[in-house]
Amino acid sequence: MAALFSLLPFFCFIQLSLVFFLEARNVGFTVDLIHRDSPQSPFHNPSQTRLDRINNAEHRSLISSQIQAPISANLGSYLMKISIGSPPVTVLGILDTGSDLTWTQCKPCAQCIDQDTPIFDHLKSGTYKPSACDSPACKALGPDYFCHRDACVYTMSYYDSSKSIGELASDSFTFGSTSGQELDEHIQGKFSYCLVHALTDPNVTSKMNFGSNAIVSGRGVNTTPLIVKENYYLTLERVSVGDKIIEYEAINAETGQEGNIIIDSGTTLTSLPPKIYGELESALKEAIGSQGQTAPDPEGVLSLCYKNGGSLKLPIIKFHFTNANVDLQPSSTFIDVPGDLLCLATIPSDGISTFGNLSQMNLLIGYDLVGKTVSFKAADCTK
């Protein structure tokens, strides 16, 4: 792929220790998530069919699954309106739990990526605070920073030799009302989201919750430990299809630690090691049996596809995380592709395994960064 940008002279890399504003009576809030193909999105292409959009999402997923894929708004699946600075300036942010980099383009920017909204002018924000080079936040970047006139400048390199370079800083993020109290201590590291199915009416939005609104409770909740490193990791112990159990190496082969799969809202497809994927594909073929006729994906992206005659019965795939068994319904594991086919939305990968957003559809997923857990609950995300 050609480089999306050769050099980004000035980005703001804004820390995640942010200030949230809401009406004072609340300690939790909910915001809409806009799918990038929704009519509410600046990336919406009205000439595309739903199958076109799913097909494009597959290709975006393959790009973003590269260990160091280039950053581009086109790679995001879900967008969220937020405001940065004081006075607040509205921007569209990509929801991506698989990335620890939060940035926005800032003036002056001679070689910026094209964007429809105005570029953020940090000089007009009364709450913008650059991080000093000797600050803990700067040192947390490890080798990915350098000092310039006591300012902390991060630098990130990507697989195609493109770079993102910018000033590390903190600023206020505003959701909803600009008047209210700071909620950073009240949110207590809790957020959740519920992603509607890809073929849902595009005017129906997914939801993201913070603070007390983000608590996942009641019957049917499964909770697993969250391993926080450079990404959000879970430990997948096995995968099953009916009585067929596929054992998964619980220890990360690269690090020797727990946490072997990234839970990633910014990647469309789920990826598994080739050996595990091969066993999963065999188990699905056995479960589906002669009722299904296989066919190649015309795009050559997905490996297991069936002709969709309308009567094909697909099995539930179960992911067994530590202490949490999560049922993945066929509507979340198989997707329609052009040619009247249903294809498994999982790919083999030699890189780090990823639990993508198609597999997360119609699940209420709650993160507790203080308690270091992730909770799952089956849900109708349109409600």
- The 3-class SS string of 80-103 reads EEEEECCCCEEEEEECCCCCCCCE
More confident residue, 312 or 2: 312
Domain residues for 221? 216-378
Pick from 166, 145, 167, 161: nearest CA to 6: 161
Q: Which of 96, 171, 297, 368 is catalytic?
A: 96
179 and 237 fall within a common domain: no
What was the pLDDT predicted at 38?
Answer: 53
* Nearby residues of 15 by Cβ (< 8 Å), 6 or more positions away: 102, 131, 137, 168, 169, 170
Q: Which of 37, 171, 264, 368 is catalytic?
A: 264
172 and 226 fall within a common domain: no
**Residue 165 and residue 310: Cα distance in Å, rounded?**
50
Quick check: bond before 108 cis, omega within 30? yes
Cα–Cα distances in Å, from 80 out to 42, 140, 174, 207, 364? 12, 26, 12, 9, 17
Would 207 be classed as within a structural domain?
no
The residue out of 167, 187, 207 marking a domain boundary is: 187
Helix (H, G, I), strand (E, B) or coil at 287: helix
Would 208 be classed as within a structural domain?
no
181 and 227 fall within a common domain: no
What was the pLDDT predicted at 364?
Answer: 98
pLDDT at 375 over 70: yes
Provide the percentage of residues in the chain whose pLDDT is more than 70: 73
What was the pLDDT predicted at 238?
Answer: 97
Q: Where are the beta strands (DSSP E) in 142-265?
A: 145-148, 151-157, 163-170, 173-174, 181-182, 190-194, 206-211, 222-225, 227-228, 232-234, 236-241, 244-247, 261-263
**Residue 54 and residue 244: Cα distance in Å, rounded?**
29
27 and 171 fall within a common domain: yes
304 and 239 fall within a common domain: yes
Would 55 be classed as within a structural domain?
yes
Number of domains within the chain: 2
28 and 166 fall within a common domain: yes
**Lowest-confidence region among 41-50, 154-163, 219-228, 244-253:** 41-50
Write the single-letter amino acid at 184: D
More confident residue, 149 or 23: 149
What is the band of 282 on the pLDDT scale with cuts at 50, 70, 90?
A: very high
**Residue 153 and residue 77: Cα distance in Å, rounded?**
28
More confident residue, 34 or 291: 291
More confident residue, 185 or 362: 362
What was the pLDDT predicted at 346?
Answer: 96
What was the pLDDT predicted at 69?
Answer: 30
245 and 118 fall within a common domain: no
176 and 246 fall within a common domain: no
Cα angle for residues 231, 234, 239 (degrees, 5° grid): 135
179 and 227 fall within a common domain: no
pTM of the model: 0.79
Q: Is the dihedral of CA 58, 98, 169, 133 positive or negative?
A: negative
Would 203 be classed as within a structural domain?
no
What is the band of 19 on the pLDDT scale with cuts at 50, 70, 90?
A: very low
- For 105-119, the pLDDT digits (tens) are 888 877 777 777 788
Tokens for 88?
């607040």
Would 333 be classed as within a structural domain?
yes
Pick from 317, 309, 298, 362: nearest CA to 55: 298
**Residue 13 and residue 163: Cα distance in Å, rounded?**
13
List phi, psi (to 5°) of 231. Answer: -135, 180
Matching residue, tokens 């594909």? 281
What was the pLDDT predicted at 162?
Answer: 59
Q: Are 222 and 324 in contact (CB under 8 A)?
A: yes
Q: For the chain, what's the residue count?
A: 383
Matching residue, tokens 């030799």? 161
**Residue 227 and residue 303: Cα distance in Å, rounded?**
30
Q: What is the mean pLDDT of the chain?
A: 78
More confident residue, 306 or 79: 306
What was the pLDDT predicted at 143?
Answer: 82
What was the pLDDT predicted at 74?
Answer: 36
226 and 157 fall within a common domain: no
**Residue 216 and residue 279: Cα distance in Å, rounded?**
32
Write the single-letter amino acid at 166: G
What is the band of 301 on the pLDDT scale with cuts at 50, 70, 90?
A: confident
CATH number assigned to the domain comprising residue 139? 2.40.70.10
What was the pLDDT predicted at 275?
Answer: 96
Would 202 be classed as within a structural domain?
no
264 catalytic? Reply is yes
Provide the percentage of residues in the chain whose pLDDT is more than 90: 38
172, β-bridge pairs: 19
183 and 220 fall within a common domain: no
- For 180-209, the pLDDT digits (tens) are 345 556 678 899 999 988 777 777 888 889
Going by their DSSP bridges, the two strands 373-378 and 222-225 should be labelled as antiparallel
Would 205 be classed as within a structural domain?
no
350, β-bridge pairs: none
Would 151 be classed as within a structural domain?
yes
pLDDT at 123 over 90: yes
- For 51-103, the pLDDT digits (tens) are 555 555 544 444 343 333 333 333 347 788 888 889 988 887 777 776 666 77
What is the band of 142 on the pLDDT scale with cuts at 50, 70, 90?
A: confident
228 and 176 fall within a common domain: no
* Nearby residues of 243 by Cβ (< 8 Å), 6 or more positions away: none
More confident residue, 96 or 307: 307
What was the pLDDT predicted at 303?
Answer: 93
